[in-house]
Amino acid sequence: MRHPKRFLARSVAHEFLRNTGLKALALGLIVASGAHAHHGFDGRYTLAAPIWIEGVVVDAYFGHPHSELTVQLSSDLAVPVPPPDLGPAANFLDPQALTVPDDIAGRTVILELPPTPQYASLGDRIASGSRIAAVAVRNCEPPHQLNVQWLRLPDGEVESRSGAMSYMIDQC
């Protein structure tokens, strides 16, 4: 014969775990899918044609989930000759492959900075009106985000990734 108090305690505990466990699982799936969609991990960023960006910052956001720079580009934007020294980023980006796509020259673009302390801490060094240069990889999937891999700050100092990320591919 079952002990009524022990049975009741197990039933209450089982029901609590079942309800909270399902809610936690659902919340986890929602959060994961939101991050998945937001960061474009479905997408792939091509290493075949790294993009040269140079212009004036019109807006700078440093925070979660990642920092962003909105940059106004000139209509005559061109890759510098000789190309810049990409430092550690040259381990996975070819400076000779740098390009300026026709669809960005003369426009305002949003650059996503990597969600790392290295880039998140630059908020006191970049502001509206600052002139910066960057090398970004472009998402093959719409909306074709630009993800910065190398960044020359207004004072000339450079921040750079040292290796490719898992979402980067050789070509779209």
What pLDDT, in 10s, does the model give residues 72-106?
999 999 999 999 999 999 999 999 999 999 999 99
What distance in Å separates the CA atoms of residue 171 and residue 104, rounded to the nearest whole number? 19
Tell me the domain boundaries of the chain: 1-39, 45-169
Of residues 162 and 16, more confidence is placed in 162
What distance in Å separates the CA atoms of residue 76 and residue 148, rounded to the nearest whole number? 21
What pLDDT, in 10s, does the model give residues 134-166?
999 999 999 999 999 999 999 999 999 999 999
Fold of 45-169: OB fold (Dihydrolipoamide Acetyltransferase, E2P) (2.40.50)
What are the DSSP calls for 81-126, one per residue?
Answer: SSPP--GGGGGT--GGG-B--TTTTTSEEEEEPPSSHHHHGGGGT-
pTM value?
0.76
What distance in Å separates the CA atoms of residue 151 and residue 136, rounded to the nearest whole number? 9
